[in-house]
A and B are shown apart, each in its own frame.
Chain A
Amino acid sequence: MKPIAAVVAVLALMPIVLDLSAYSHNLLTLAFLMISGALAWNWMGGFVGQVSFGHAAMFGVGGFVAARVIIATSLPAPLAWIAGALVAGIAAIGAHPMLRLRGPYFSIATIGVGEASRFVFTYWEGFTGGASGLSLPIDADLKYQLYWWGLGLAGVVAAASLLLRRSTLGLQLLAIKADVDAAADVGVSATFYQDLIFCLSGAVVGLTGGLYASYFGYIEPSDLFGFDRSIGFVLMAVIGGVGTVLGPALGAVVFVLLRQYLVASYPQLYLGLYGLLLIVIILFEPLGLTGLGHRLWRQFRKVRR
């Protein structure tokens, strides 16, 4: 817990002490948002072991609800984000029947839900503005402050991940991941805990979506609900280490930086490079960067001895 607080404190002071360029300031903000999203995805995909290819649905719902609240009312933005998170969390509870499914069945169903939501929300022009999207009122101060909002959210979500892993609930999730039936035999109901985690995970991803809407100031369904966005959460977690406590945070940072670089330099190649990265990680180091770190650390200790 202390290292998280220390990192957050250092990052919070950074824009004040160092003279960050607007570019780095914004890139870091985006990284913070993605860290929260990736960590929340990992609660479901890593802790429970149910890989979701449809988290973009909650991201989009959170984003558009927040945007609508901001456009329609004069409420402060954080309240609008929370509204988005609540709706996204409630929408996630709607996935209850899906959570009976395990393994590949669940994953494929999430692809279906994610894609269906993209079609439906693109069609629902009254709410999302359809293909032309929504523009939010410009608020330069808010965009600057988003750095700290994003950082705060990332810090809270990281702390929550750590607490979750250490708590009884975390152990129950591990039991469900290892063997649903055995877990049920000792009184751990997969149905209830999966619903709970999916709801929490969805709410946090929805919250991230709300902040993202304020960050970009212009949102469209094909981006927020896009399949690439769902894949993004999966990739961040895989790069950092699926199921590790804080690996996905690292994965998110790498993902955001890599994406920024690749989109600028090799826009034609970046999907394929992500694919290669996925293949290499799954084959050689299923725990991603975290696993690699552990391995290097062991080697290092061996050498010293």
Chain B
Amino acid sequence: MARFIDLAFAAVLRAGLYATMAYGLGLIYGVLRVVNLAHGGVIMAGAYLGWILFDRFALDPYLAIPIVLCATFLLGIGMYRVLVRHLPRGAAGGPASLLLLFGVWLVLRNIAYGLFTGDDRAIRTSYSTSAVNLFGSFLEVNRLAVLGVAVLVPVGLHLLLRRTYVGKAIRAVAQNADSCTLVGIDVDRIYTLTFGIGTALAGLAGLLSATLYSVNPSFGAQELLKSFVVVVLGGLGSIFGMGIAALILAIVEVFAIYVLPSYLTTAVGFVMLVIVLIVRPGGLFGQRVLG
């Protein structure tokens, strides 16, 4: 029973990180209808940025959050302005945007490899190993902090989309970009902004990951796939749905340890991805446009 509780806690803590990873991917797809295959690359970039700030400037990863958010926001804006904007829209843009952003991912990976070599890096703070005792389970302080951030992110995103004028514009563009042009919304600017916010969230997820796991240039591939599971399972654009989906994925992964050899638990996410896509391509809660 004690082990069960441990695993349940582990699943909740993991779910927070998965949800944070997924929001950016879901937001960009929900508004631009572009699958950001470079998502994994941005997660990796965020992780390395956090590591540099910690390693060279002794900046605590949680204090580095604003810096990482700004940097990956600018990276996203650059990616949209220079590359994604020039793609054809609609059906023809589908494969093209996949291949283009995949190219961006390869380049990001190579840059990271050139700058930081292939060695594993991790952010190890003074409190990385400390833990608190809760109902007989030891919970790492750092994981709780990650969960805290992961809870704040959807709240912030919800307020942004629901309570601000820009958020309203973003939702409107997601529903019908042409009509938005008619009422004077600069659609291209909203796209730029959305892409920036989406990549900033990916960067944040990367930073949080670096405090938990070790990171190397190929980091991000599994994170991309897991984000995709969450986005699809949660229904595109539904913040609440993505949170629930992240929890489901985390629970399945964590409890797979009971039935599968540990090596194969990594494949659980991939298998789940395919099953979800086939069985519920519209998500558990049906399709919804951002909210």
The chain A residues found within 8 Å of chain B, CB to CB, are: 45, 49, 51, 53, 97-98, 100-101, 103-105, 107-109, 111-113, 115-116, 119-120, 123, 179, 227, 231, 234, 238, 242, 268-269, 271-279, 282-283, 286
Contacts and interface: CB of A to CB of B under 8 A. Distances in A.
A116 B114 contact: no
5 smallest CB-CB distances across A and B, nearest first, come from A272-B110, A275-B106, A278-B103, A116-B270, A275-B107
Is chain B's interface secondary structure helix, strand, loop, or mixed overall?
helix
Interface stretch (B143-151, B153-161, B184-192, B259-267): B259-267
Contacts of B264: 119-120, 123
Given A108-B35, A272-B110, A278-B103, 19 more contacts: A53-B102, A98-B278, A103-B91, A105-B232, A107-B98, A108-B225, A109-B277, A112-B225, A112-B270, A112-B273, A116-B270, A179-B91, A231-B106, A269-B114, A271-B113, A272-B109, A275-B109, A278-B102, A279-B103
B19 to A, nearest CB: 18
Contacts of B278: 97-98, 100-101, 109
A120 B103 contact: no
Given A103-B94, A104-B94, A112-B225, A283 B100 contact: yes
Given A271-B110, A272-B110, A282 B274 contact: no
A116 B106 contact: no
- In this complex, the interface size class of chain B, counting residues with CB under 8 Å from chain A, is 35 or more
Given A104-B35, A108-B228, A271-B106, A115 B99 contact: no
Interface in B197-250: 221-222, 224-225, 228, 232
Given A111-B225, A275-B106, A268 B83 contact: no
Contacts of A103: 91, 94-95
Contacts of B281: 100-101, 105
Most buried by B among A107, A108, A269, A273: A108
Contact of B99 (A51, A113, A119): A51
B111 interface: yes
B274 A276 contact: no
A104 B277 CA distance: 11
Contacts of A268: 110, 113-114
Interface in B53-95: 83, 86-87, 91, 94-95
B91 A277 contact: no
A107 B99 CA distance: 10
14 contacts: A45-B95, A97-B278, A98-B274, A98-B277, A98-B278, A101-B277, A104-B29, A112-B273, A115-B270, A116-B267, A276-B107, A279-B104, A279-B107, A282-B103
Nearest to A100: B278
B114 to A, nearest CB: 6
Contact of A279 (B83, B94, B267, B277): B83
Nearest to B95: A51
Contacts of A238: 99
A278 B99 contact: yes
B271 interface: yes
A227 B99 contact: no
Contacts of A116: 267, 270-271, 274
Contacts of B270: 111-113, 115-116, 119
Contact of A272 (B35, B106, B225, B271): B106
A275 B98 CA distance: 12
B24 to A, nearest CB: 15
Contacts of B263: 119, 123
B105 interface: yes
A97 B225 CA distance: 19
A283 to B, nearest CB: 6
Nearest to A234: B99
A119 B267 contact: yes
Nearest to A179: B91
B106 A283 contact: no
A278 B100 contact: yes
B96 interface: yes
Contact of A271 (B109, B221, B222, B232): B109
A248 B111 CA distance: 28
A48 to B, nearest CB: 11
Contacts of B94: 103-104
Nearest to B260: A123
A279 B95 contact: no
Contacts of B271: 112, 116
A114 B263 CA distance: 16
A116 B275 CA distance: 12
Nearest to B278: A97
Nearest to A278: B103
Given A275-B105, A275-B106, A283-B100, A109 B273 contact: yes
Contacts of B224: 111
A179 to B, nearest CB: 8
